[in-house]
Structure 1
Amino acid sequence: MANIIAHQKSSPQIDHESDSAQQYLTFQLGGELFALDILHVKEILEYGHVTPVPMTPTFIRGVINLRGAVVPVIDLYARFGRGLAEVTRRSCIVIVEVQHEEERHDIGVTVDAVNEVVELPPAEIEPAPAFGAKIRTDFIAGMGKLDGRFVILLDLAKVLSVDEMALLAEMGQGDHGNGE
């Protein structure tokens, strides 16, 4: 599978005033279409061996060795409170870069299947809904209109908040043990 390498953007916010289109990586998760700003995506890997880590919340699948670096892998489906995602032959790990204080961290997120990179002009992006989504509204940066349907644009800083995930781990959220 081809790697996608991109540069880090300074802000995860959607610029509704700009008329230039932004690029997003679209992917399937639990039968729904999601997207991440391509500037946060470093590469896409086939789902391979993930080493479970004892005493971690369910949404932490484990860690992988990425060119000598230990990278945590987060099950997005479980992070959204829906249980562990089923791993299939189309499952992928998307390596993203998130900013935490002054440091940047690589984190892997599991998705059911990667679709494509699309461009969305700001005019095709609506604000996050106040209700009706099956995930926390603070995880949603906006709703993009793509080929007559909506794609959920994720706010990566909120979904992969290092502080929040550490707090959930301390509180024992997700019944320790990652089900492996």
Structure 2
Amino acid sequence: MINELSLLENVDSFLSFKLKEEMFAVEVEKVVEILEVPKITFIPKAPKYMKGVINLRGKVIPVIDAGLKFGLTPIDITIDSCIVIIELHDEDRELEFGILVDQVLEVFELGKEKLQASPSVDSDYNLDYIKGISKIDEEFVMVIDIDKAFSVGEIKLKTEPKAKSKAKAKTKK
């Protein structure tokens, strides 16, 4: 029984998805749900990778184009496209946001010993966000470190900076 528990501690579950022709994955514990792509409302002057926002049961959820975020071309929304709702924790705050992906594939388990460190070679991807790489069947899967790839500050829709900048302008006069 103890041996079985120690084996389970060394295994993590991941949700895999496609961005263009590449396979990526995130830890299942960070995933809240998977949605078909609803109407996405555009946000003016948002960062290029911010696709917009959606209404999820009365909550405003920012949606990030994972293709753009990771240095690829924008996601072309098709029947296979999905939004993966992620929960991010930062100190005492938590935030839900969506990442738009080309296709959700499957949930798989992977032993920690099978996750290799990401190579330090030039690539189309920002490798700081990659927790590791593994091979599933004959295809490589890049495991994204959600906590490094996204921050609450970059996702949170802010209205405060304008107020602060006006306050600073008044104090300078």
Same fold (TM over 0.5): yes
Aligned mates of 2:84, 2:129 — CA distance in 1: 17
Residue in 2 that maps onto 1:68 = 58
CA RMSD between the two structures: 1.9
Match of 2:37 among 44, 47, 53: 47
Rounded to whole Å, the distance in 2 between the matches of 1:137 and 1:165 is 20
Query: Going by fraction, where is helix more abundant, 1 or 2?
Result: 2
Could you tell me which residue of structure 2 aligns to residue 157 of structure 1? 147
Comparing 127-136 with 138-147, greater Cα deviation is found at 127-136
Distance in 1 separating the partners of 2:155 and 2:59: 20
2:15 paired residue number:
25
Q: Does 1:98 align with 2:96?
A: no
Consecutive unaligned residues in structure 2, runs of 5 or more:
1-6, 162-173
Shift of 1:132: 4.1
Query: Please, which runs of 5 or more residues in structure 1 have no aligned partner?
Result: 1-16, 171-180
1:83 and 1:92 mapped to 2: Cα distance? Answer: 16
TM-score of the superposed pair, with normalisation by structure 1: 0.78
Residue-pair matches, total: 151
SS of corresponding position for 1:134:
coil
Give the counterpart letter for 2:94 in structure 1. R
Q: What whole-Å deviation, never above 9, does each CA across 1:100-145 have from its counterpart, x for those lacking one?
A: 2211100100000000000001121101111143211111000022
Q: Match for residue 148 of structure 1?
A: 138
Give the SS at the match of 2:45. Answer: coil
Helix, strand or coil for the counterpart of 1:78? helix
C-alpha distance in structure 2 between counterparts of 1:67 and 1:89, whole Å: 22
Give 1:87's aligned residue: 77
| Percent of residue pairs identical | 38
Task: For residue 95 of structure 1, report the CA deviation from its aligned partner.
Answer: 0.1
SS in 1 for 2:141: strand
Ranges of 4+ aligned residues in structure 1 off by more than 6 Å: none
